[in-house]
């Protein structure tokens, strides 16, 4: 596949996002108490500068990555990272909402920098042909030379391999963060316990809508706030509770896509019933994440299904509008068969690649990999993720506790946090110290979720047709799913859309994934 065709594929992603996407455990090695290993009260930057004499000039590295906040961060954290790693770094931040456009243009013109972060697993999927064409460095043969990179989780690395070869490092995330965030004060007022089953959850959504939980004698509340995202919104999580496989599953000895399973239909019926009853926002297919969170934080909606780690920001904004509000988290929701399941990601939410157009030879590649090896040390990874001790966090009981100025932390640290490779188990970064009870519960649920997590059997498999047509074909299913839940097509109409998916290339995808699965 030539650059031009990859450019076209990347452009397709502007119209649709495919799956998966989107986050820890205790490290065995006690991490440094501050980015420099300095004692509390000492300057990490100054300590690092005086403690690490430079025998060679700094390595110059340019890094391109998506920005998930409104403004480019200042170089406060960057300077410390440079001192700790003996580098001169140039960070090229581009807004996440338009990142694929920039990635597309840079790829087409051969101007990707030495270190190129993708945006998510969908971006990685569409870059695979370019990887096969040899436009990025294979790094697998070098990994054993770097003691810290060698600690990265093998099963996650395997999930990022292309044709059995490793080209990328990953940004690690817990396998299964999905659950519910809900208004506990509303539930207590109405005599409701945390939902244990999908039926309990439905009843909570119904009562949050009908029983005036905010006590203002107005019919102005709803149960569930959802958004136009079948993956990271409510749908995929609810679907996993019903027993739907994670993207693909085995059926009669053969892999089939999730939407061919009865549990997927059951999930659509459940969501349709919530919508028809007015127990969720009826325009959810056209609701952005910002508008979804606003429904919850404004006090209109009482249930949010998704990443439970979002509870901190949701609670912070909610109490501005409802100071008396109390939130909590819950997971392990049982489906109709009495079993609890949840879907999981392949252990990462993004990867970083190394373009041959920007890295001239093996010697330069090794210097860049040496930089990432340093990023995988406790002091540097802690700096990347938490910022500077005393300015952005403090150490409490051997854990990182964010300071009160959340806006400062987001402005100065968030851009770097999103690019930290590995995870606490492998890079030794400080794990978080939480005070919000709902977040403490969320972390406990995440650990429990991993025990029942449903893996995607195709995560490490390749299908050429899926690579070239998967995004477009998934649009057919996405459209059909929304139409079904909105009541504009019935089950016959939905199955007709599946037939169309098969004819347009879906059948070929099934053949190719099954062939790879049997190898």
Task: Kindly state the average pLDDT of the residues 475-501.
Answer: 98
The rounded mean pLDDT for the chain is 90
Q: Which residues contact 157 (CB under 8 A, 6 or more apart)?
A: 166, 170
What separation in angstroms does the CA of 518 have from each of 60, 247, 338, 511?
Answer: 45, 18, 32, 11
pLDDT above 90: residue 234? yes
**Nearest C-alpha neighbor of 205 from the set 257, 260, 275:** 275
Query: Contact 31/83 with Cβ under 8 angstroms?
Result: no
pLDDT above 70: residue 6? no
The string of pLDDT tens digits covering residues 402-457 is 999 989 999 999 999 999 999 999 999 999 999 999 999 999 999 999 999 999 99
- Please state the φ and ψ torsions of residue 205, each to the nearest 5 degrees: -60, -40
pLDDT above 70: residue 13? no
pLDDT above 50: residue 182? yes
Burial 355-389, CB ≥16 within 10 A → b, else e:
bebbbeeeebbbbbbbbbbbbbbbbbbbbbbbbbb
Residue 367 belongs to what H/E stretch? helix 362-375
Band of pLDDT at residue 28, cut at 50, 70 and 90: very low
Indicate left, alpha or beta for 356 from its phi (over 0: left) and psi (-120 to 50: alpha). Answer: alpha
Angle among Cα 415, 421, 426 to the nearest 5 degrees reads 140
Band of pLDDT at residue 461, cut at 50, 70 and 90: confident
- Other CB atoms within 10 Å distance of the CB of residue 19: 22
Stated pTM of the model? 0.78
Token pair for 415: 């851009």
To the nearest whole percent, how much of the chain has pLDDT over 70? 90
What separation in angstroms does the CA of 46 have from each of 38, 43, 367?
Answer: 10, 5, 24
Burial 194-232, CB ≥16 within 10 A → b, else e:
bbeebebbbbbbbbbbbebbbeeeeeebbbbbbbbbbbb
Residue 209 belongs to what H/E stretch? helix 198-210
The string of pLDDT tens digits covering residues 300-335 is 999 999 999 999 999 999 999 999 999 999 999 999
pLDDT of residue 44: 40
Query: Contact 302/328 with Cβ under 8 angstroms?
Result: no
Work out whether the CA dihedral 256, 261, 267, 272 comes out positive or negative: positive
The string of pLDDT tens digits covering residues 103-154 is 999 999 999 999 999 998 888 988 888 999 999 999 999 999 999 999 999 9
């Amino acid at each position: 596949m030539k650059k031009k065709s990859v450019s076209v594929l990347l452009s397709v992603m502007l119209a649709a996002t495919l799956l998966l996407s989107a986050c820890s455990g205790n490290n065995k090695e006690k991490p440094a108490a501050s980015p420099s290993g300095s004692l509390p009260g000492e300057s990490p930057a100054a300590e690092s500068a005086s403690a690490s004499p430079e025998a060679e000039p700094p390595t110059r590295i340019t890094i391109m990555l998506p920005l998930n906040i409104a403004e480019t961060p200042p170089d406060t954290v960057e300077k410390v990272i440079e001192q700790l790693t003996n580098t001169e770094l140039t960070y090229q931040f581009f807004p996440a909402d338009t990142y694929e456009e920039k990635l597309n243009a840079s790829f087409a013109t051969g101007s990707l920098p030495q270190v190129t972060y993708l945006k998510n697993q969908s971006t990685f999927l569409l870059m695979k042909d370019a990887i096969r064409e040899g436009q990025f460095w294979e790094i697998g043969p070098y990994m054993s030379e770097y003691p810290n990179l060698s600690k990265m989780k093998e099963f996650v690395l395997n999930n990022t391999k292309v044709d059995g070869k490793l080209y990328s490092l990953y940004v690690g995330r817990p396998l299964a963060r999905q659950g519910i965030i809900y208004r506990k004060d509303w539930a207590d007022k109405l005599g409701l316990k945390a939902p244990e089953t999908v039926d309990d959850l439905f009843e909570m959504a119904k009562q949050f809508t009908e029983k005036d939980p905010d006590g203002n004698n107005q019919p102005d509340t709803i149960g569930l706030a959802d958004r136009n995202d079948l993956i990271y919104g409510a749908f995929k999580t609810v679907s996993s509770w019903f027993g739907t496989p994670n993207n693909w599953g085995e059926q009669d000895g053969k892999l089939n896509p999730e939407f061919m399973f009865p549990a997927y239909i059951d999930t659509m019926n459940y969501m349709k019933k919530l919508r028809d009853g007015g127990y969720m926002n009826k325009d959810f297919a056209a609701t952005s994440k910002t508008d979804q969170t606003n429904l919850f934080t404004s006090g209109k909606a009482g249930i949010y299904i998704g990443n439970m780690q979002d509870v901190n920001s949701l609670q912070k904004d909610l109490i501005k509008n409802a100071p008396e509000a109390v939130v909590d988290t819950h997971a392990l929701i049982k489906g109709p068969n009495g079993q609890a399941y949840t879907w999981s990601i392949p252990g990462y939410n993004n990867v970083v690649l190394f373009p041959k157009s920007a890295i001239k030879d093996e010697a330069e590649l090794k210097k860049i990999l040496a930089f990432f090896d340093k990023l995988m040390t406790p002091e540097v990874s802690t700096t990347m993720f938490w910022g500077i001790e005393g300015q952005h966090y403090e150490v409490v009981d051997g854990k990182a506790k964010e300071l009160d100025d959340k806006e400062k932390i987001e402005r100065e640290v968030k851009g770097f946090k999103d690019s930290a490779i590995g995870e606490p188990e492998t890079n030794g970064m400080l794990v978080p110290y939480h005070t919000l009870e709902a977040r403490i519960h969320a972390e406990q649920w995440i650990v429990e979720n991993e025990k029942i997590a449903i893996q995607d059997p195709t995560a490490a498999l390749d299908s050429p047709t899926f690579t070239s047509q998967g995004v477009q074909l998934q649009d057919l299913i996405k459209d059909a799913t929304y139409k079904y839940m909105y009541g504009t097509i019935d089950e016959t109409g939905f199955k007709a859309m599946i037939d169309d998916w098969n004819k347009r290339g879906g059948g070929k995808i099934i053949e190719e994934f099954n062939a790879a699965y049997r190898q």
